Structure 1
Amino acid sequence: MVSTGSTAGSLRHPGDEILLGFTRALRAAGVGVTQDRTHGFLAAVALLGLDDQRATYLAGRATLCAGPDDLERYDQVFEAWFNARDGLPRTRPAQPAAPGFSELPASDAEGSGESDDEVVRAMASDAEVLRHRDVAAMSPAERARLAGMFATLHCRPPMRRTARHQSWHRGEVDASRTLRASLRRLGEPAEIAWRRRGVRPRRVVLLVDVSGSMSGYADPLLRLAHRFTQAAREKGGVVETFTIGTRLTHLTRAMRLRDPERALVAAGETVPDWSGGTRLGETLRFFLDRWGQRGMARGAVVVVFSDGWERGDPSLLAEQMARLHRIVHRVVWVNPHRGKAGYEPVQQGVLAALPHCDDFIAGHSLATYAELAKVVSRA
């Protein structure tokens, strides 16, 4: 589809110029994209269709990446280059000098590498700034872009050891299997069998505060809960999601919908107390009486998303947090104000809960959500 010189006049389809600019951006990022790989990429996308973003993404990984080291760079450049929601390029209206995706110039013999590198740096830095922005202060357009970036979070479920053993290539000697193998050989020595304790995903419980003081963070937090749920299902794990405010609402069924937009619509139809008051102690007691004490929270990692503004009795919250801490594996409290300059935990709810928390971390940006995912996976 392109000649050796990669000129615009040799392109067969209008979309080839878009894809060719993407391959130049990959080269600028350090991926060894050759002419043969470029030809293969363009041919694959022509077959699958440029309007299918998922197919374009997979075609690029299959044709442009030569090894595992290229995959991470590929993902970063793809995320910086494309809008994850609708497949369109990311433009920067405030800086018209940085060309949009459809305005990429054809490469010439001199200076193309420098121009591509500038475009990649501009787009990548724009995405990185968005990752660290306070989600409550974002414009609707920025929230729309951020929604697509949740797919980049690596949310691995925490693992726990089981009572059963499984065959393994090292560990402790499996005397029973070794003896049976020897008997099958009429008493002749057999190869030693090894075993180890089995592992399985640990349950994760998410309690999301949807009161009035948390209204600016409710949508991103539910998107995060959806991402945790879908990632856990891929590994055979379980994530239970509840909203807390003036009452407790079970949202796990809504979060299991694969499409995040449909999941949030279902959640909006289920939760009756959006932007209401905050009775953390009462809702936590109801959760423990009906769900947690009976087994859902036992041995689980419980993550509470709240700013700690408690309208009820703080002593009740402290009592229920102590009760929760006794039956779970780990309690993580995520406060959206924790990472802001000058913040001090002076709210009555936070002061009551902190003695019974294992981790107290920030939760106001995509970068802090990525850190939370690491904390949960290591729990």
Structure 2
Amino acid sequence: MNEEDIYDVTIIGGGPAGMYAAFYAGMRDMKVKIIEGKDQLGGFLHTYAEKTIWDVGGLPPMKCSKLIEWLVQQANTFNPRIVLNCKVERFTRLNNGIWSMYTTEGDIHYTRTIIVAVGRGIAEIQKLELQEPIEYEQENLHYTVQNPEHFSGKRVLISGGGNSAVDWAIELAKLAHSVVVIHRNNEFRAMERNVSEMNNITDVRTPYSITQLHNNGKRIQQVVITHMESQDNVVLEVDEVVISHGYKSNLSDLASCGLEMDDGMVLMSHHAQTSLPGVFAAGDCATHESKVRLIAGAFNDAIVAVNSAKQYMTPDAPQMAYVSSHNEIFREKNRQIPSL
């Protein structure tokens, strides 16, 4: 192990928290590496690339794909080393305090600190729990919406109770002939304002679940929904069915590294410190009592994690980076921006 092989901070995960951590660590003049398990940065944001994002501070509403593009550009500001298609299997602390990180590909990465920002891990879609749905997945059964225009003028059924289901209901109501939303509970787990809008512009039915699919060839033509309490059935004529039941994720590898977990997530302090010295956490994979599960919250997690990592390495370092308007590291970069 040579000194040039050792990074100040290695970020596991290339989603919003990981990308912003890379940028902010660059502001703190740290040598940065990102290790991402997939073939591109962006993390879980890619699952709803066509959705419109409203709640990132200071940015106008935009497609999530555009937000990914801007985050990737920002993450590369200080030229971190980015390793794609690589999954960290475990990490151990050496006698000299350096962490060695072992990947499923057989490589070893060395780092002084670690920021775990794996989001929801390798997420698997929660599929419709019926015998026959797989045969319709190439036709009109969807687990995400890639092209909203595909639903124009059609009768759409959406099943789900979270933010994604509600957001897609609002989005598709502008295009579809009709949108019916069903949820197995009476309450939706989504932003109240969006739930109110959905109730005004779609046909919401609760508490119902899908119990049967009737086909015409390879396409679903009718869906039987059953009331969760009375067990009464209703038959709906449909053109397209969207299942938004969330994702299953498995972060058990992190527990095997010695990280303390809480309900499947990494437990961290308000300073982003985990149960392991020099290992910090940020984003959806982590939890504490004041956790904010928004993209904006992931950015804040990233800042706290980087600042804690910097002070772990250099205890007398300032608690945070200078703001960008006063930070000397941006002086030359500002000159390179034509509009300034």
Q: Quickly name the TM-score band, shorter chain normalised.
A: under 0.3
Structure 1 or 2, whichever has the larger Rg, is 1
**Structure with the bigger percentage of strand:** 2
> With structure 2 as the length reference, what TM-score do the two structures score?
0.25
Larger RCO: 1 or 2 (CA < 8 Å, sep 6+) = 2
> With structure 1 as the length reference, what TM-score do the two structures score?
0.23
